[in-house]
Amino acid sequence: MRIIRVFPRRTSMTPRDDYAFVGTPPLIRPVADEVHISTTFTWDRDRKDKETGENCIELLRLAWTQYYPTVKVGGCAFGSASDGFIPGMYIRKGVTFTSRGCNNQCPWCLVHQREDRIRELPIREGNVLQDNNVLQCSRAHLANVFSMLRKQHQIELSGGLDSRCLTDEIAEEIRSLRIKQVFLAADTPEAIKPLRKAIALLQLPRDKVRCYVLLKFNETETLSDARERMELVWEAGAMPFAQLYQPADNWIDYPKEWRDFARTWSRPAAMKAFMRGVNG
């Protein structure tokens, strides 16, 4: 079946083949049997058109219905089933999921609400591993994951490895791969200690170790507090990747100083320049 996939916005994970489109239909359109509008973010699902006040996803559906009789709307934001992962379909080629869900109950995260507990999936080839918490999988599953990854190049473990689950054995497996980037996470001040231990186990250069750092989940957090956390992550041996907290039910429009701060602390060149200034 020939399926056009439509996305409300382009991200680094959006497919780029001839049947993947962003927004309204172009002038030249391929022949297709169905159109699937895939929506990842809840703020896209609920966004209203500024002029008409109509739901933007519904307007997108109507636009594509002019040319194709079957237009379906789904995606993570609508609670669509995610276990039937097809490489390159709703996420760009090279990205793969070998598990879904997470056993943690982090209050800022939607994974345990949308995906429930960890579930292992059939392993599909890919060099970018996007699992929510792959280190909670069984040893047998992890062995198969690493076996697949050993065939890949420019590997990115970008789902955010749980520092508390990292062991000597897993760190050794990771070091044996052709690693481009490994992502960890430190979403609270209490996460810094296990982060330091995980980085020490990995023994990778800072340019290959990124760390998601959640900002403003605690509304009382100041720029000074956030900067201190960023510097602690840097000193631990990782390059921070700042992310401003966005709740499921609405989009927070942060002040410019917070947006600028997050931009600086998610760009390697800007961070390096800042830290050179700090260290003289």
Residue 123's pLDDT is 94
Q: Which residue's structure tokens are 């996420």?
A: 91
Q: Which of 100, 96, 114 is nearest to 40 (CA)?
A: 114
Residue 115's pLDDT is 84
Q: Which helix (H) or strand (E) holds 8?
A: none
CA atoms within 13 A on the CB side of 31: 1
Q: What is the pLDDT of residues 165-198, one digit of tens each?
A: 999 999 999 999 999 999 999 999 999 999 999 9
Q: What is the pLDDT of residues 140-164, one digit of tens each?
A: 999 999 999 999 999 999 998 999 9
What phi, psi does 39 have (nearest 5°)?
A: -120, 120
134 exposed, middle or buried (CB, 10 Å; 0-12, 13-18, 19+)? buried
CA atoms within 13 A on the CB side of 206: 14
Residues contacting residue 198 through CB under 8 Å, at least 6 positions apart: 161, 163, 166, 171, 184
DSSP 8-class letter at 35: E
Identify the sign of the CA torsion 6, 243, 186, 116: negative
Q: 218 by DSSP, 3-state: which?
A: coil
Residue 59's pLDDT is 96
Mean pLDDT by 10 residues, the chain (280 residues): 95 93 96 95 86 94 97 85 78 94 90 88 95 95 97 95 96 97 94 97 96 95 96 96 88 94 94 81
pTM: 0.88
Q: Which residue's structure tokens are 């510097």?
A: 231
Distance CA 7, CA 29 (A): 15
